[in-house]
Amino acid sequence: MKRTHALAGIALLFLAALCFGAGVRAAWSEEKPYPNRQITYMVCFDPGGQSDREARRQQPLLEKILGQKVVIDYKIGGGGALGWRTLTKSKPDGYTMAGFNIPHVILQPLQQDVGYKTDQIVPVFIFHKTPLALAVLETSPFKTLKDLIDHAKKNPYLVSVGGSGAYTGYHMATLRFEKMIGTKLTYVPYTGAAPQMTSFLGGHITAVFGASDDLTRYRDKIRVLGFATEKRFPGFPDVPTLKEQGFDMVEGVDRGIAVPPNTPASVIKTLESAFMDIAKRPDFQEEQRKGGFIPLAMGHEEVKEYMKKMTELYTELAQGLKK
Amino acid sequence: MYIGNVILLVLNLPLVGFWARIALIPFPILGPLIILCSVIGAYSIRFMLFDVWVALLFGVVGYLLRKLHFPVAPLVLASVLSQMLETSLQQSLLISQGSWLIFFNRPIAGFFMALAIASIARGIWLQVRSHAPEVAIDDADE
Amino acid sequence: MRSQRKCDLAAGVFIALLGAVVILAASQIRGDVEERLPPRTLPYAVGFMTLAGGLGLAVKAYRFHGEDPRIQWPETDGWVRIGVNLLLLALFTAIMDPLGMPITTGLYVAGAIWYMDRKRVVAALLAGAGSALVVYYLFIRLLELTFPLGPLGRLGETVLFSWDLLLAGFADALTWTNLLWALVGCLVGTLIGVLPGIGPSAGIAILLPITTMIPPTSGIIMMAAIYYGAMYGGSTTAIVVNIPGEASSVPTCIDGYEMAKQGRAGAALGISAISSFVAGTLGLVGLTFFAPLLANVALAFGPPEYFALMFMGLSLVISLSGRALLKGMIATSIGLLASLIGRNPLTGAARLTFGVVDLMAGINFISIIIGLFAVSEVMINVEKAAAHIYGTKFHGWMPTWAEIRRCAGAMVRSSGIGFFLGLLPGCAPAVTTFIAYDVEKRVSKHFERFGKGAIEGVAAPEGANNATSSGGFVPLFAFGLPTGPALAVLLGGLMSTGFSRARCSSRRTRSSSGRSSPACISGTLSSWC
């Protein structure tokens, strides 16, 4: 009996020491410069997706540069909305950051109440871009963009175009394209890029507006009809842009990092330079290109300008599309 | 990968004794530990406290359902399946432009639908024939 | 209210009312009624189903005049015990955020044990302190799950010992053996699987950073071991304490726990391992020889096929509720209702949220499972003031040879079902285990034994579970398409070791020129390593 009491006593003492140590540490760590404890990197999409893989690629590099542990945390839901909403409610001390996407964070609040507003997302950096392109299967009877458009004109609604999610960049692209060719298509939303591509490869939908990295992965099985970019995409040099074919449309998904509103400028600067270091590495850029991404290195101010421009553009587009 | 499979068998068979012993822990200690694991598990899904409250609520619901002899399995499967059910329904109707025949025109889909309808019909037939109260046979509590 | 008939009547009325509320709430849903599937349709449908079920039950109970079984409600002290425990749990949840997980854990465990049994003060304190330490060191420090830390959050990097150094040391010492890493992976994977809610996908995602510290081939083996281990851990708790580790372990609970109550937990666990092993073997055989053919089958499944498959799965389960068809239907509608709350998964439009922001995130089915099984099981035992969850002595640690032979058919059938269904991208493993269990019940000559401890009822879901994982590798190797989140994470992990890209692309180019078989075999042979 005495022995177990002693054990219990030791256990309690241990716990007390821990708490005491925590108290001491608390006082000490407040004075050290940022960052002085672990940082949480929120990923707003499913594990295994592009955001997650990107985060895990960056994690060891960030830890080395910032000298603190970087912990990846998942807040999945609502096509990213849950994570971004949580971000805007987090403490703006620089210890919470999240991966974010343009145009998602612009389009979502425009369409419905998602619990956050676009200007609450404070961007720190954008590290890559995946432009969208219209593609059909290699076995499809449509050899050029014109074939597809003619068919669509003769059969409104018959041509199904797959995309990831509703009111996302993919949906926008389809709606804009619909307006430009003057006939109705059917947009079929999927819960992510992976189910979209699976269904497409199985021939259940006629075409897709796919992201460049997905298209690069399946390049043997598909025929890309046009890229929604300013210039030809380096990974597919033979494919004309939609602009060349008469449709002025530029659409893509940019991915970056954001922090909560009111985060101090010094903190943003530290994070920005960390990501800038990573983005400037040639091996990082090479990996991005191989995967079908366009590596970018846009810092805080640049991204803010870019977001402002895009917000104006999309607000206008959204108005125009509301019949 | 196969090594993983072999290791699983080799490792777990001897451990069977150990795992089975868990049940021998006196319940006053085991109970709170199970609840602790449940809370950790529920919280780790999305790191939201809301999920833990849901687990608590469904604990009460589950208790009631079991007392009243309701089968729990369909509830579980329904909640797992429903998201996929709904998204495929929406997507199918979009592709078929509103026609519900799409589920019967295609061979594979038609096959599964036929199985489903046969199964429901058989269930109803058995129900109408018997006149017992609504007690689930495969529930065996207490 | 001791009579089943009266309780059914009351339950029926309550559920009918619930259905009516849902229909009312559904009429409030805004949305584009021009869409192919208007946003109100499904909520209306489920609401009506609930209403009809409730009314049907009430009417049936009212008109029934046969033998009336009794319902065992608890005595007063049972109610008190349940009430206090629920209160403790609620307090735990409420305090978790401000005080932090470790402290609250310690307090709760100590408090709850002391309440349940006043004599066990020492055990209570030890268990409390122990669980607090385990939560802090294992979950927060090692696995880096972001639990609320409360006041301990200021602890920063001061830990009384550092896992990083320890693990780096292990990595150095053990580079010479892959087997050991597989072992570690299995153990950790099983631990992850044992925890309800943390399934294989989360487990792999969490442990991925650790695998990057060790050589690549060992890393792959460890990841696979974690995956298999996590799947098995879920069935362990399903059998021993009626708590499924994840959705796919639910059918295992049904017969497995019954066997455990009869003292045959060892046999159940044993057949589970054996069945998994057999299924894994058959699955890998299928993977090697049939992968290219089957990969195309996977692609042939589009949205209509998925819908039909899910619908069939659901109707199979309802129709197997035996004579309680109406109750089965009601249970289904409750499940459907719970998942309708929140947002439409495709359009993101909110529904049935009654303006509460938290509800917009929807109800995750894992919390439902945890509540339905773990928490309610504890409540049932609390009410009885059980000293142990079951009192019988063990009858042997292993299944007998006769039993194993009896399960042979189940093992082969469930492997087939699991493998084929596992091919389909997006098909949850839970569906395959349910379907395998149901099929087994239908083909069995003694189906009344199911639900009372039939060993085939454990062999079937377990085999299907493992075969699904093997089947999932088919599209992964053929197209680089992961069939589910767990495999997606695995793919991510594999890609980080440079494995998948090279193998996938080489096999793809070769298969498109028609020489698929040799390439596939050579590719999958490497996976036998």
Strand partners, C155: none
Q: The complex's ipTM?
A: 0.84
CA pair distance A228, A240, nearest whole angstrom: 9
Determine the pLDDT at residue A80.
78
Which C positions 34-93 lie with beta carbon below 8 A of chain B? Answer: 36-37, 42, 57, 60-61, 64, 66-69, 71-73, 82, 85-86, 89-90, 92-93
Distance of alpha carbon C256 from alpha carbon C235, whole angstroms: 9
Residue-wise pLDDT for A205-226, tens only, equals: 888 888 888 888 888 888 898 8
Q: How far apart are CA C337 and CA B75, in angstroms?
A: 10
Q: Do A78 and C487 touch (CB under 8 A)?
A: no
What was the pLDDT predicted at C523?
A: 37
In this prediction the pTM is 0.79
- Find residues 452-511 of chain C whose CB sits inside 8 Å of chain A: 475, 479-482, 485, 487-492, 495-496, 508-509
Q: C494-527, pLDDT tens digit by residue?
A: 655 554 333 433 333 333 322 233 333 333 433 4
Do the Cβ atoms of B46 and A75 come within 8 Å?
yes
Cis upstream peptide for A35 (omega within 30°): yes
Is there a contact between C290 and C524 (Cβ–Cβ < 8 Å)?
A: no
Q: How far is C113 from chain A (nearest CA, A)?
A: 15
Distance in angstroms (rounded) separating the CA atoms of residues A2 and B89 = 67
3-class secondary structure per residue, C162-221? CHHHHHHHHHHHCCCCHHHHHHHHHHHHHHHHHCCCCCHHHHHHHHHHHHCCCCHHHHHH
Query: Is the CB of A205 inside 8 Å of chain B's CB atoms?
Result: yes
Please provide the distance, in angstroms rounded to a whole number, between the alpha carbons at the two ends of chain B: 42
Q: What is the pLDDT of residue A244?
A: 87
Q: What is the mean pLDDT of chain A?
A: 80
- Measured in angstroms, the CA of A205 and the nearest CA of chain B are apart by 7
**Which one-letter DSSP state was computed for residue A246?**
T
Percent of chain C with pLDDT over 90: 3
Q: Which residue from B26, B13, B6 is spatially nearest to C397, judged by alpha carbons?
A: B13
Q: pLDDT-based confidence at B82, cuts 50/70/90?
A: confident
Kindly report the nearest CA distance between residue C379 and chain A, in angstroms: 29
Note whether B135 and C61 are within 8 A (CB). no
* Beta-carbon separation of B46 and A82 below 8 A: yes
Chains near B with 3+ CB pairs less than 8 A apart are A, C
Smallest CA–CA separation between C282 and chain A, in Å?
26
B84/C225 CB distance under 8 A: no
Note whether A78 contacts B: Cβ–Cβ < 8 A: no
Q: Which stretches of A171-310 are assigned E, i.e. beta strand?
A: 186-190, 207-211, 222-227, 252-259, 294-298
Q: Report the b/e string of A155-190 with b at 16+ CB within 10 A.
A: eeeebbbbbbbbbbbbbbbbbbbbeebebebbbbbb
Residues of chain C above pLDDT 70, percent = 70
Q: Which of C43-52, C92-101, C236-245 has the highest mean pLDDT?
A: C43-52
Query: Quick check: C486 pLDDT over 50?
Result: yes
Closest of C462, C456, C465 to residue C406, by C-alpha:
C456
* CA distance readout (Å), A82 to A59, A186, A236: 22, 28, 35
Query: Collapsing DSSP states into helix, strand and coil, what is residue A222?
Result: strand
pLDDT tens digits for range C277-317: 888 888 888 888 877 777 778 788 888 998 998 898 888 87
Q: How many residues does chain C have?
A: 529
pLDDT of residue C100: 80
Is the Cβ of C346 closer than 8 Å to some Cβ of chain A? yes
Residue C146 corresponds to which tokens in the numbers above? 């972001």
For residue range C453-481, list pLDDT tens digits in order: 788 888 999 899 888 878 877 777 776 66
Residue A111 touches partner C, C-beta closer than 8 Å? yes
Q: pLDDT at residue C142 above 70?
A: no
Peptide bond just before A103 cis, omega within 30 deg: yes
User: Cβ contacts of residue C248 below 8 Å, gap of 6+?
Assistant: C231, C234, C428, C429, C430, C432, C433, C461, C465, C468
Whether residue C151 and residue A19 make contact (CB cut-off 8 A), yes or no, is: yes
Angstrom distances, CA of residue C285 to CA of C249, C403, C415, C470, C521: 24, 25, 11, 9, 10
Nearest CB to A188; choose among B46, B47, B94: B94
Give every CB contact of residue C497 below 8 A, 6+ residues apart in sequence: C216, C219, C220
Of residues C234 and C461, more confidence is placed in C461
**pLDDT tens digit string along C58-97?**
888 888 777 777 777 887 888 888 888 899 889 888 888 8
CB contact under 8 A, A188 and B46: no
- Residue C2: closest C-alpha in chain B: B68
Interface of B with C in 35-74 (CB under 8 A): 35-63, 65-74
Structure tokens at A308: 């402002």
pLDDT, tens only, B59-76? 999 999 988 888 888 888
Amino acid residing at B84: M
Pairing of the two strands A207-211 and A160-164: parallel
Residue B44 contacts A where some CB pair is shorter than 8 Å:
no
The answer to whether A11 contacts C129, with C-beta atoms less than 8 Å apart, is yes
pLDDT of residue A19: 46
Q: Does C344 touch chain B (CB under 8 A)?
A: yes
Q: What is the largest CA-CA distance in chain C?
A: 75
CB-based burial, C462-483: b 16+ in 10 Å, e otherwise: bbbbbbbbbbbbbbbbbbbbbb
User: Do residue C127 and residue B55 have CB atoms under 8 angstroms apart?
Assistant: no
Considering only the beta carbons, identify the residue of B46, B47, B95 that sits closest to A205.
B95
pLDDT tens profile C144-203: 566 777 776 655 544 444 555 555 555 555 545 566 666 666 777 776 666 666 666 656
> Could you state, in order of their start, the residue ranges of all structural domains in chain B?
2-67, 101-135
B95 at the A interface (CB within 8 A)? yes
CA distance A259 to A271: 10
Q: What is the pLDDT of residues A248-294, one digit of tens each?
A: 888 888 899 999 998 888 889 988 998 998 888 888 888 888 888 88
**Which of chain B's residues have a Cβ under 8 Å away from the Cβ of C265?**
19-20, 23
pLDDT in tens, chain A (323 residues): 444 455 445 555 545 544 444 444 444 444 567 777 778 888 887 666 678 778 878 888 888 888 887 877 777 766 777 788 888 888 888 888 999 988 888 888 887 777 788 888 899 999 888 899 888 888 888 888 888 888 888 887 777 777 766 677 888 888 888 888 888 888 888 877 777 888 888 888 888 888 888 888 888 888 898 888 888 888 888 888 888 888 888 888 889 999 999 888 888 998 899 899 888 888 888 888 888 888 888 888 989 999 998 888 888 887 776 64
Amino acid at B106: R
